[in-house]
């Protein structure tokens, strides 16, 4: 079995988020691995804000991204503090783009050995067994992907 020195945990702020993060921190602790926490602001949401702005409303895509990043960073910081995971073994990455593409990019750029993510994302459509981003990661990730399922 290959060594696992760095784990990426994909956080999407779904109902599975806290469990996924807790699982990843326990796993990283047991393996004495570093942890990369990644969240992607979907570019489709940013484009929708841009469309609203073009209709004359006083909202900007830049302000939206800035606000979302601040909110998500604060939530991630709270999750980290509550977990007790050592901050010197942890890195937080916030991206804007297509979630699958950005997570795959982070996987490669950070040279992670494993990805931990929830089985479903924010949409949580009842008839799907696996969320579309998770499903794409399972098929295309160059490293092992571990699926966290809420019990």
131 band by pLDDT with thresholds 50, 70 and 90 = low
31 band by pLDDT with thresholds 50, 70 and 90 = very high
Bigger pLDDT: 126 vs 103: 103
Residue 136: pLDDT above 50?
yes
Section 10-18 average pLDDT: 89
Handedness of CA 22, 26, 27, 28 (dihedral sign): positive
CATH match for 10-148 among 3.30.1490.20, 3.40.50.1970, 3.40.50.620, 3.20.20.70: 3.40.50.620
Q: Map tokens 């795959």 to a residue.
A: 104
Domain boundaries, the chain: 10-148
pLDDT digits (tens, 9 = 90+) for 64-120: 899 999 999 999 999 999 999 999 999 999 999 999 999 999 999 999 999 999 876
Residue 26: its pLDDT value, please?
A: 96
Residue 120: its pLDDT value, please?
A: 61
Look over the chain and give the mean of its residue pLDDT values, rounded to a whole number.
88
Kindly report the pTM of this predicted structure.
Answer: 0.87
């Amino acid at each position: 079995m290959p060594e696992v020195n760095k784990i990426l945990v994909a956080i999407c702020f779904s109902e599975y988020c806290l469990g996924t993060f807790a699982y990843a921190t326990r796993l990283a602790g047991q393996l004495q691995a570093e942890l990369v926490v990644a969240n992607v602001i979907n570019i489709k949401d940013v484009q929708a804000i841009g469309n609203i702005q073009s209709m004359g409303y006083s909202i900007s895509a830049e302000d939206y991204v800035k606000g979302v990043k601040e909110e998500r960073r604060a939530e991630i910081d709270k999750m980290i503090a509550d977990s007790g995971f050592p901050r010197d073994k942890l890195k937080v990455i916030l991206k804007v783009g297509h979630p699958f593409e950005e997570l795959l990019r982070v996987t490669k750029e950070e040279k992670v050995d494993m990805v931990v993510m929830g089985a479903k994302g924010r949409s949580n459509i009842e008839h799907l067994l696996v969320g579309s981003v998770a499903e794409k990661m399972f098929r295309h990730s160059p490293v092992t992907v571990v699926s966290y399922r809420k019990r």
